[in-house]
Structure 1
Amino acid sequence: MQLGPINLPGRNSGIDVLRGIAIFMVMLLHFSLTYRLWNSGPLVGLLGQGWTHAILAHGNFAVTMFFVVSGFLITTNAAERMGGLGKIELRSFYIKRFARLIPCLLLALVIITILGLCSVASFATKAPNSRSELLLGCLSVLLFFHNILMQHLGYFDYALNVYWSLSVEEVFYLAFPIVCLILKRDALIAIPCVVLVMVAPFYRSAHENNEIYYLYANLACFDAIAIGCLTSILARRWRPSFSTARALQFGGCVTLVAFWLQGFSGFHAVFSFTIIALSTAVIILGSLTNPPDVNSRSAIGQAICWLGRHSYELYLFHIIVLGIMRDILPGKSLGGVWQIPWLLLFLLVSMFAAAGAARLIGDPANAILRRHFAPAP
């Protein structure tokens, strides 16, 4: 057992692997929802329809993984940079969140708005007042109430609706530092996190027949972020030995895969998201002591880490790429033989867009805003 602060020199490859797998599965889910990879084609021929559907159709679990990683990293960074969660400096915390999120988000929303106003199908809303709803949708993304707006309007805009998870995260993080300052001690801060973990299954159970509430509501998702926060609090006091870390990683991976394949039905409809979140947290704990050495492994491992490092930009821009592609070639017109080439094109263009947005907009703007408004102490 190891005690003391969490030392993350540079980036933790285990966390990047988790994020890389998660964003890849989100992209596969969105591509499959249009082109139905689980109905026919090479993957069905290789794996069978049941396995293909089980792997691809449950991509919402990947968002749960993101929430856990986010909660862990933000809690860890806040505690270590400011000397404890009870010492969070609100201005610095919020400016750093703004600097990381908003520049690339603004670019994505500008692109979506232009395409929507030009009546490109995947970017225009379906309502009679399409322009006003498009602008309202963009505003809801910027002000982090998009998932709540969806509860009133339904799936009203293909491209914008993907950004519901950003609203969930940022509402949590608007309140998180204030709660930390009020409660001060880690043990007290853990209490509301535990409450959120306990409430979420009951909320999902009560809304099992309403997909938008069941999947996208704040109380349906806050438990995963809270589990990430609790994992950080635990890791500052206890870290496993090398052998224990390997066992945690193995057990976490097995449990995550098993519940992923089972999906949302029956018992799993209520508890799968919580168990996926707990499994992700266990894997994170293991990676603190035993991170995978991806640099000495295959190109695939390094590619997954690249996806993890650019997961936010991929999240923002892959849906724009896919929206354009599905308007060029609608789902029913794509033959099975073309599924894999079209998927590879989607992945490559999304990666190029994400890398370009990060290099040209996100990273420079993030650095400038932090330097001028939230300089390091």
Structure 2
Amino acid sequence: MSTEADAAHSAPARPAGPERPASPPPVGGPAHAGPPDRPRTRFRGDIEGIRAVAVVTVMLFHAGVPALSGGFVGVDVFFVISGYLITTQLLSEQNRTGGVSLMGFYARRAKRLLPAANVVLLTAAVFVFLMVPRGRWGQIGGDIIAGASYLLNWRLAERFANPDPTMPPSPVQHFWSLAVEEQYYLIWPLLILLAVALAKVSGARVKPVLATALGLLAAGSLAWSVTTTVGAQSPAFFQTTTRIWELAVGAGVAMSVGAWARLPRPVAVVLGWAGLAAVLVACLSFTPMMDFPGYTAALPVLGTAAVIAAGCAAPARGGAETALGVAPLRWIGALSYSLYLWHWPMIAIAATYWGPLSTSTGLLVIALSTVPAWLTFHFVENRIRYSRRVSQSPRLALGIGAGFSALGALAGVALLLAG
């Protein structure tokens, strides 16, 4: 998975990214628009559309649809989208004010992400208590605590270093990707502030300093991802260090938005379709047994970056943004965070209670998950995100986020102690 403008205005970002069970993975169960180099503010329906493609492919993968054996790459699509949108917002603020308000940034993240996420964690704890054997309560309770604190990816990396093939996947396992993004959100604004400070001291321009820092971060993360995936694919899948480069690619597109906006329209059309094709090829041809992420993730990552970059140019008839910007995909894209939060716990708990799900049953569970997703989107996400009182008080926003996180963590503690 930005700020309140969470509708793909070059400012929204949904966390998250869809989850893929670790390896050996149990299948089934995000004209120019102004002066160069300045963030755009026009509505980006193509971003909502590619976000919809990402969440749908992941949900269908988890439902066990055989044709989408690589649907897990939706998480990589989300990482690139989040890197682009978050960086666009931060650079826009830096251009306007000369700096970045950390409290304002984290307050926007807290009110946007934490309430919905912890409503799902709390609900999952209740259904685990009612439907999952007691012997698993302790482990799942610990997972819920780690999910509420956005450290679950490291807990899973340690668990899957020596996986137990008899242990079903956790119903909150998908929170690993949210943890990666939250950890990125902690690092990236600080890096921008550091770049601003270094530029002032050295007399250099901010953007080259920041670009250098971003390049070093991306190169180091990619190298780590490639080398770690070969030796320990399962834990590498969950580590923040193997994923940062994917968010950095999106950030790089945001930093060079002026250049992309100047693309000739025919070039932008080809680039957008090529990028979308790359994402779809990965979804259809990758398999859970491949070494991943590593260099293999470059196909969906660069494909997503190409789609976003092409959309920075003026919309062109026949371009990928036309297909991605249709109303149904925009609707799904807007709902993607809640869909991502809800679909996996429902599949995992149903599979634990009733046994392995058929593809048709998995698709039914996916369809049912749209109901709590829609309710959460309208009555939790939007009520808090668009509250004028909350928007005017970063302290209140942070307090609300902390309160919801405490509820999620306490639900995990209760399950852990009961088990």
TM-score interval, smaller chain: 0.7 to 0.9
Give the deviation of 1:116 after TM superposition: 2.3
**2:212 equivalent among 177, 180, 191:** 191
Give the deviation of 1:329 after TM superposition: 4.1
**1:306 equivalent among 314, 331, 351:** 331
Letter in 1 for 2:341: L
Please tell me whether the aligned partners of residues 193 and 226 of structure 1 are also in contact (alpha carbons under 8 angstroms). Answer: yes
The number of residue pairs the alignment matches comes to 341
Q: More deviation in 343-352 or 62-71?
A: 343-352
Matched residues in 2 for 1:238 and 1:297: separation? 17
Question: Which residue of the partner structure matches residue 331 of structure 1?
Answer: 356
Counterpart check, 1:114 vs 2:126:
yes
Letter in 1 for 2:275: G
Question: Which residue of the partner structure matches residue 27 of structure 1?
Answer: 59
Counterpart check, 1:243 vs 2:262:
no
Matched residues in 2 for 1:249 and 1:125: separation? 49
**1:217 equivalent among 222, 231, 239:** 239
Counterpart check, 1:152 vs 2:158:
yes
Counterpart check, 1:272 vs 2:302:
no
- The structure with the greater share of residues assigned to helix is 1
Matched residues in 1 for 2:394 and 2:294: separation? 43
Q: Alpha carbon RMSD of aligned pairs, Å?
A: 3.1
Counterpart check, 1:320 vs 2:345:
yes
Q: Determine helix, strand or coil for the equivalent of 2:171.
A: helix
Matched residues in 2 for 1:215 and 1:86: separation? 37
Q: Determine helix, strand or coil for the equivalent of 1:111.
A: helix
Matched residues in 1 for 2:365 and 2:61: separation? 12
Question: Which residue of the partner structure matches residue 224 of structure 2?
Answer: 203
Letter in 2 for 1:29: F
Matched residues in 2 for 1:275 and 1:229: separation? 17
Give the deviation of 1:225 after TM superposition: 0.4
Question: Which residue of the partner structure matches residue 248 of structure 2?
Answer: 226
Q: Determine helix, strand or coil for the equivalent of 1:95.
A: helix
Counterpart check, 1:256 vs 2:288:
no
Give the deviation of 1:176 after TM superposition: 0.8
Question: Which residue of the partner structure matches residue 24 of structure 2?
Answer: none
Give the deviation of 1:291 after TM superposition: 4.7
Identity of aligned residues (%): 20
Question: Which residue of the partner structure matches residue 8 of structure 1?
Answer: 41
Give the deviation of 1:267 after TM superposition: 8.9
Give the deviation of 1:108 after TM superposition: 0.5
Letter in 2 for 1:318: H
Matched residues in 1 for 2:303 and 2:97: separation? 24
Q: More deviation in 362-371 or 267-276?
A: 267-276
Structure 1 residues 272, 62: CA separation in 2 closer, same or farther (over 3 Å shift)? same
Please tell me whether the aligned partners of residues 150 and 212 of structure 1 are also in contact (alpha carbons under 8 angstroms). Answer: no
Q: Determine helix, strand or coil for the equivalent of 2:124.
A: helix
Letter in 2 for 1:8: T
Give the deviation of 1:67 after TM superposition: 0.3
Q: More deviation in 255-264 or 228-237?
A: 255-264
Matched residues in 2 for 1:302 and 1:138: separation? 35
- Which ranges of structure 2 fall in alignment gaps of 5 or more residues? 1-30, 197-205, 397-419
Q: More deviation in 242-251 or 16-25?
A: 242-251
Question: Which residue of the partner structure matches residue 46 of structure 1?
Answer: none
Counterpart check, 1:96 vs 2:108:
yes
Question: Which residue of the partner structure matches residue 73 of structure 1?
Answer: 85
Q: Determine helix, strand or coil for the equivalent of 1:159.
A: coil
Please tell me whether the aligned partners of residues 259 and 272 of structure 1 are also in contact (alpha carbons under 8 angstroms). Answer: no
Give the deviation of 1:145 after TM superposition: 1.1
Please tell me whether the aligned partners of residues 242 and 293 of structure 2 are also in contact (alpha carbons under 8 angstroms). Answer: no
**TM-score, normalising length from structure 1?**
0.80
Q: Determine helix, strand or coil for the equivalent of 1:6.
A: coil
**2:374 equivalent among 331, 355, 361:** 355
Matched residues in 2 for 1:252 and 1:321: separation? 32
Give the deviation of 1:194 after TM superposition: 1.7
Letter in 2 for 1:235: V
Give the deviation of 1:197 after TM superposition: 2.7
Q: Where in structure 2 are the equivalents of 1:286-301 lying within 5 Å? A: 286-291=310-315, 301=326
Please tell me whether the aligned partners of residues 45 and 325 of structure 2 are also in contact (alpha carbons under 8 angstroms). Answer: no
Q: More deviation in 19-28 or 253-262?
A: 253-262
Matched residues in 1 for 2:157 and 2:337: separation? 24
Letter in 2 for 1:373: P
Structure 1 residues 321-360: Cα deviation after superposition (integer angstroms, max 9, x where no partner): 223433454326x3xxxx44x3543233222211100111
